[in-house]
Amino acid sequence: MPKAALVYISLLICCAGIAYKVSTWFRYSLGSAKFTVPSRVSAAAGGMWETLLSRQFLTLLKTFFLNVLFQARLLRVAPLKWATHFLILGGFTMLLLMHALGDYLNPLIFSNYYSTLNPFLFLRNFFGVLVFIGLGIALFNRFIRRDPARPPTSFMDVYTLAIFAAIIVSGIVLESVKITSVSVFREMTDEYATGQDEASLKSLEAYWVENYGVVSPGVARPFSLESLAEGKDVHSVNCAQCHSPARWAFMDYAVSRLLTPVAVYLDGDAVRSTLYYVHFFICLFGLAYLPFSKVFHLFTSPICLLANAVMDRAHSNPANLMTKQILELDACTHCGTCTRNCSMAFIHRIIPNANILPSERLASLKLLASGQELSVRDSLVIQDGLNLCTNCKQCTLVCPVGINLQDLWFSVRETLVGRDIPNLLVLSPLSIYRGMRKDDIEITCYSRPISQARKAIADEFDSSRQPRTVYAPQEEKVLDMAGIHHLGQNGCADCFRCMTCTNACPIVRTHEQPGSELDLLPHQLMQAVKLRLWDLVFSSKMLWECLGCYKCQEYCPMGVPATDLIFALRNVAISRTSRNIFQKTLETL
């Protein structure tokens, strides 16, 4: 198959892959809102058009130069990474332009382009070395320095380093084998040194062995000065116009010196074409697989940086915000900066759930966004990791790609709590952030998980279903606190229903019909505990609406620890119910 056909096929696979990826940005969804694909496409087109025609265009320009080209965000948070990134990306881009596409692009720019002449010969090696240094630093940091704060290395991280290294190494080996090849030398002399007699050809060969790294069994060192001088003459007439000294290709030349002892065995069309095709196929594979690999961030990260520069929750179309979030999943480079700065990452040392780390959580979200049915276990694992996030926003502030991680976590929480597994954390203070962003959630989507969680707890303590006589140690403690075991020592047992607590309670005051809206008023709650009416206690809204202000406890004339009790009751409810939900859902696996 001709080479061009292979290149076109790889390019086609690459383009099809990109088209597929782009289509997922509009098909996949996160969060509680629902949009059709056409409405998202048209919202995106409209949004882009509007931005381009508005003053925000200047912001885009600024972001492009500062953060896309110069990578200022990355420089700020991780200078060494910035340097590594620049070496690899810069070096590789130049190789792509000057070498892979060199024969097409360079003649358009340089009048005297020739791949074997300086500066091109030198530059090709120079850019290769840049990539090598960058890869070296990256490998050192990842595998030798072993920073404990770095998230675990994924297959994609290894692939990315490996594909760049393989392309460069295979190229260098190919070039260095060519440098030593006496048969290429003979082909060249046949073509360009026609009409030279046998003796001058021998001198030319001596000159090339001495100065250009050719390894030939036909001529033997030491060469006489006259022979070298004659060779130089023949060279300058026939070869010099196309060949700068091979030493300028310093990497290829150095490797060719190492190959000298085996060069004669490597000299053959079969070896050269094998090496050539190895290099060629690695490049084509890299190209075809690009949209499915981490290298794809070359496209997605700039788009993400630009989108986040002009989009925000207050002004942008919600459909576009969702599309942007799916794009963000592709834009993540798994650089680990978020994890390094996450205020909750240390917990990962105790609980080995990778989803605690923002960088790893992001990776496991792709499946969730694709709408595929996650196994219950997978959902719970993501949810457990996410539940520890404190919304501190550190991750968002440092992400070099500008991913708005905090918004992403919000959408993921909504996706997860919108499912049928009750999530008790919607009742906890950790869900304050969710309450603060209530306006971003449709009202039914907001309240459904809350009623679902309350119902799960009420069911758990419904004595008609499962009469409970045995109490877990934690529950015993609550009973103890309630003073049930030791009458008359500042527990509920002391309560004489004076209603001071209810009168002091700010939550009671916010309700027009507190009696029916809260199920139990604080003093009734205390009474219900005293009488062990667990159904009433745990199904009451009061238990979950209490904001823990301690007014009731402060004013109670009998010193009933009302607020402490409410917290303790919540803990019992959550721990017992979640344990059982967990068990039940695992049983359904």
Instruction: Give the total of residues touching ligand SF4 (CB under 6 A).
Output: 53
Residue 437 and residue 409 in contact, taking contact as beta carbons nearer than 8 Å = no
| Partner whose binding site includes residue 242, from ligand HEC, ligand SF4, none (CB under 5 to 8 Å by kind) | ligand HEC
Among 163, 177, 179, 457, binds ligand HEC (CB under 6 A): 179
What is the closest distance, in whole angstroms, from the C-beta atom of residue 223 to ligand HEC in the complex?
15
Rounded to an integer, what distance in angstroms lies between the CA atom of residue 153 and that of residue 142? Answer: 8
What is the pattern of x (binds ligand SF4, CB under 6 A) and - over residues 310-349? ----------------------xxxxxxx---xxx-----
Cis, bond preceding 222 (omega within 30 deg of 0): yes
Q: What is the DSSP letter of 314?
A: T
What is the closest distance, in whole angstroms, from the C-beta atom of residue 200 to ligand HEC in the complex?
10
391 belongs to the binding site for ligand SF4 (CB under 6 A): yes
| Partner whose binding site includes residue 565, from ligand SF4, ligand HEC, none (CB under 5 to 8 Å by kind) | none
41 belongs to the binding site for ligand HEC (CB under 6 A): no
129 belongs to the binding site for ligand HEC (CB under 6 A): no
Among 163, 165, 288, 403, binds ligand SF4 (CB under 6 A): 403
| Partner whose binding site includes residue 390, from ligand HEC, ligand SF4, none (CB under 5 to 8 Å by kind) | ligand SF4
Q: Buried b vs exposed e over 507-520: b needs ≥16 C-beta within 10 Å? A: bbeebeebeeebbb
What is the closest distance, in whole angstroms, from the C-beta atom of residue 109 to ligand HEC in the complex?
18
What is the closest distance, in whole angstroms, from the C-beta atom of residue 531 to ligand SF4 in the complex?
13
| Partner whose binding site includes residue 561, from ligand SF4, ligand HEC, none (CB under 5 to 8 Å by kind) | none
389 belongs to the binding site for ligand SF4 (CB under 6 A): yes
537 belongs to the binding site for ligand SF4 (CB under 6 A): no
Reduced 3-state DSSP string for 500-536 = HHHHHCHHHHCCCCHHHHCCCCHHHHHHHHHCCCHHH
Q: Which is nearer to ligand SF4, 235 or 324 (CB)?
A: 324
Q: Buried b vs exposed e over 472-506: b needs ≥16 C-beta within 10 Å? A: eeebeebbebbbbeeeeeebbbbbeeeebbbebbe
Residue 386 and residue 361 in contact, taking contact as beta carbons nearer than 8 Å = yes
Q: Which stretch binds ligand HEC (CB under 6 A): 176-184, 219-227, 375-383, 486-494?
A: 176-184
What is the closest distance, in whole angstroms, from the C-beta atom of residue 340 to ligand SF4 in the complex?
8
Rounded to an integer, what distance in angstroms lies between the CA atom of residue 336 and that of residue 348? Answer: 14
Rounded to an integer, what distance in angstroms lies between the CA atom of residue 342 and that of residue 55? Answer: 35
Rounded to an integer, what distance in angstroms lies between the CA atom of residue 272 and that of residue 177? Answer: 7
What is the pattern of x (binds ligand SF4, CB under 6 A) and - over residues 497-516? xxxxx--xxxx---------
| Partner whose binding site includes residue 189, from ligand SF4, ligand HEC, none (CB under 5 to 8 Å by kind) | ligand HEC
Rounded to an integer, what distance in angstroms lies between the CA atom of residue 274 and that of residue 268? Answer: 10
Q: Which is nearer to ligand SF4, 135 or 566 (CB)?
A: 566
239 belongs to the binding site for ligand HEC (CB under 6 A): yes
Among 73, 124, 178, 523, binds ligand HEC (CB under 6 A): 178
| Partner whose binding site includes residue 560, from ligand HEC, ligand SF4, none (CB under 5 to 8 Å by kind) | ligand SF4
**Residue 371 neighbours by CB under 8 Å, 6+ apart:** 28, 29
| Partner whose binding site includes residue 394, from ligand SF4, ligand HEC, none (CB under 5 to 8 Å by kind) | ligand SF4
* Interface with ligand HEC in residues 213-232 (CB under 6 A): 214
In the structure encoding, which two tokens stand for residue 505, read together?
A: 């309670």
Half-sphere exposure (Cβ direction) of 369: Cα atoms closer than 13 Å: 27
Residue keyed to tokens 């006489």? 224
Strand ranges (E), 9-75: none
Candidates 272, 267, 257; CA nearest to 213 is 257
The three-point CA angle 305-310-316 to 5° equals 120
**Residue 109 neighbours by CB under 8 Å, 6+ apart:** none
Q: What is the DSSP letter of 142?
A: I
Cα-trace Rg, the chain: 35
* Interface with ligand HEC in residues 180-209 (CB under 6 A): 184-185, 188-189, 192-193, 208
496 belongs to the binding site for ligand SF4 (CB under 6 A): yes
Half-sphere exposure (Cβ direction) of 86: Cα atoms closer than 13 Å: 14
| Interaction site with ligand HEC (CB under 6 A) | 115-116, 178-179, 184-185, 188-189, 192-193, 208, 214, 238-239, 241-243
| Interaction site with ligand SF4 (CB under 6 A) | 332-338, 342-344, 358-359, 362, 389-395, 399, 401, 403, 405-406, 495-501, 504-507, 522-523, 526, 546-552, 556-558, 560, 562-563, 566
